[in-house]
Amino acid sequence: MPAVPEDRGAREADYQFFAALLAADVKVLDELLAEDFMLIDVLQGGEISRAALLEALAGGFVRFEAIEVLESRERRYGNMALVTGRTEMRGQGGGQAWAARSRYTHVFVQQSGRWRLVAAQGTRIVGD
């Protein structure tokens, strides 16, 4: 994982998201994810709600073994920020090992003085 950006903006919250996935830290994710958070998953394109993601991590149904953020950029628009980047990940899900190289878009909003993740979408990189 890269060092935490110094600007304390949405990129830091993005770093915390990936670190919490890797650690299966449901408490951090509970604070970081907006109530209406939605994840579009990189493997199948399915919608995964906040509750479903937290439950899968807490129950050990999904486990991230490695997440490497290869690049990330932040663009701010008032109290909203887009973080886009590229990752390599691997883990276990439903008893199956998986690995993915992806580009991602994360949408953050500032609520009560902190950045909360509203939406996340990963797109698998094929070839390259």
**In-domain check, residue 5:** no
**In-domain check, residue 103:** yes
The CATH number of whichever domain residue 49 belongs to comes to: 3.10.450.50
**Considering its fold, how many domains does the chain have in total?**
1
**In-domain check, residue 117:** yes
- Are the C-beta atoms of residues 12 and 76 closer than 8 Å to each other? no
Q: What are residue 51's phi and psi, to 5 degrees? A: -60, -40
| pLDDT tens-digit series, residues 59-84 | 999 999 999 999 999 999 999 999 99
Position 5 pLDDT exceeds 70: no
Q: Is the pTM of this model over 0.75?
A: yes
Range of the domain at 71: 10-124
Residue whose tokens read 């399915």 = 46
Mean predicted confidence (pLDDT) in 5-17: 81
Please name the amino acid found at residue 17. F
Q: First-to-last CA distance in the chain?
A: 22
For position 43, what pLDDT does the model report? 83
- Are the C-beta atoms of residues 101 and 125 closer than 8 Å to each other? yes
Position 3 pLDDT exceeds 90: no
Structure tokens at 33: 């994810």
**In-domain check, residue 22:** yes
**In-domain check, residue 70:** yes
**In-domain check, residue 66:** yes
From the list 57, 60, 87, 55, the residue with the least C-alpha distance to 71 is 87
